[in-house]
Structure 1
């Protein structure tokens, strides 16, 4: 292949359009929002760029720090649950027959073909008071009571009336929704890491007397660490910045930091404060990525 210096026109023809797109529609708008974070609101819609840190100081008040911490622990809970659920799923896909593996991967990717809003409303239909879960539990209670009465062990009042479970508009619903949305982001990196696993290590571990659990924690998990790290990062970061899921599934005390940012830009019309909150979230994202890069380098990966 010719060096790019000898075919500069072809290089710039391929390089210029994506660079222009990145600068015009990402870097410049993001830079404007960054400038807003150092501005002051002087009217209902007016702002002045006076290079102050007042918006960042306000963002560090206990109220907003509490929302930040809530977002962090909800994203951490989402990531942990996704990891626990995704690991056996990824292992099952890896050890499945090749023709079955293709269909299993398709089932994992299939949710991406549906709009997130539609999937969230479908989840609401499952979790609401008159939803599928409560209706199913009510059916079980009614028929269990009838069955006990039929065999002479009850009088249709043994179990009692069914009280619907409150599954929506709380923190649990938000975490469940976040796991529902982000689970594929954990499965795919784990599958990619486990698919490259040398199965002779597993056979050697079992032949040397280690049980399945010890083999899993002593062999499989360490060899899958790159996939675990990638899955944790690409699950935790989007979960912490989620807006739609807590907005539709959460209650008044279930707002995450993205909801507060959205309210500042739309409801309160306070762009400087919304920009400061946005960039604090971005700084936290960069910090998480830096920690991952440091750990990977310390572990000897990514140095070549």
Structure 2
């Protein structure tokens, strides 16, 4: 007896697997930003580094001679200016944080329907020229103004003069005037990141803290402050970095004893025929020093949000 078995169906030929096409769109979108950074960031930095080891003058031209002594001159002759730049910027950053945190906290949690208006009031002064805002402080801190009169009545200027931060009964042309102008100009840079960070915090966490018998201060220290640390770090960096390179406030509100690095670099570039290499060396030293401080601060803060 013959058993008929059904012949197996021929196996279907598998279509050759196609390799997934690489999506080049992100790389294409990245090109404009890379070109911008190369042209306006990398090239100027390399130019400054190259100029810092040159010799010559404007008449005969500058030549790359790897003259590293320019860095020795930049560090040895202008140490006071470096100290002023970093000191004023650190004081400004701390003062801005102390003033900005309560403002940002109030707007984020108590602003209600007025949040947009309150934030606009913070930003609107920045629409005015930086130079005009700085000059306005010459009127605010004038000797015959109400600010100086109140400080004299409270005998505050005697203490600041003893500390070397003011001169007699005058506030203008002193370190205090420089710091006041810097704090005013850079305060919005601290408020905006703080407000953004605080607004993301759920208000119910405060209620939970109260239910757990925490005081207002304990709730802020254990809940609000840790959650707002990205805003604290971002705000302080956005304040410190431009403040350390600012010299307009020192030039308009200070005196010859409050000069900062930016003023000396301007003098070397514009008023000395052979000052270009040393001025470039000062710029490189300032940039490297600021980078070290910023990276150390981020590392100590224990956050990777900004890296």
Scaled to the shorter chain, the TM-score interval is 0.7 to 0.9
Judged with a 3 Å threshold, the aligned counterparts in structure 2 of structure 1 residues 53 and 4 are, in CA distance, closer, same or farther, namely farther
- 2:207 aligned residue: 203
- 1:281 aligned residue: 286
Q: Secondary structure of 1:128's match?
A: coil
Corresponding position: 1:126 with 2:131: no
State the TM-score, normalized to the length of structure 1.
0.80
Asked if the contact 1:4/1:11 (under 8 Å) is kept, the reply is: no
Unaligned segments of structure 2, at least 5 residues: 1-19, 155-167
Indicate the larger mover: 180-189 or 116-125. Answer: 116-125
- 2:277 aligned residue: 272
Aligned with residue 104 of structure 2, among 61, 69, 90:
90
Q: Secondary structure of 1:197's match?
A: coil
The one-character-per-residue Cα deviations of 1:138-179 (angstroms, maximum 9, x if unpaired) are 9x99xxxxxxxxxxxxxxxxxxxxxx9412111000011100
Corresponding position: 1:172 with 2:176: yes
Unaligned segments of structure 1, at least 5 residues: 142-163
State the TM-score, normalized to the length of structure 2.
0.79
Corresponding position: 1:74 with 2:88: yes
Separation (CA, whole Å) in 2 of partners of 1:71 and 1:256: 5
The one-character-per-residue Cα deviations of 1:74-108 (angstroms, maximum 9, x if unpaired) are 11110111111111000110023442000000011
Matches within 5 A, 1:1-304: 12=28, 16-41=31-56, 46-61=61-76, 63-131=77-145, 133-134=147-148, 137=150, 165-269=169-273, 270-295=275-300, 298-299=302-303, 301-302=304-305
Separation (CA, whole Å) in 2 of partners of 1:117 and 1:215: 41
Matched residues, number: 273
Q: Secondary structure of 2:63's match?
A: strand
Separation (CA, whole Å) in 2 of partners of 1:198 and 1:72: 37
Asked if the contact 2:269/2:276 (under 8 Å) is kept, the reply is: yes
Separation (CA, whole Å) in 1 of partners of 2:306 and 2:34: 27
Asked if the contact 2:268/2:279 (under 8 Å) is kept, the reply is: yes
Query: Alpha-carbon deviation of 1:21?
Result: 4.2
Query: Alpha-carbon deviation of 1:47?
Result: 2.4
Query: Alpha-carbon deviation of 1:284?
Result: 1.8
Q: Greater CA radius of gyration, 1 or 2?
A: 2
Asked if the contact 1:233/1:288 (under 8 Å) is kept, the reply is: no
Q: Secondary structure of 2:232's match?
A: helix
Asked if the contact 1:125/1:132 (under 8 Å) is kept, the reply is: no
The one-character-per-residue Cα deviations of 1:109-165 (angstroms, maximum 9, x if unpaired) are 11221110111111111112244535x759x99xxxxxxxxxxxxxxxxxxxxxx94
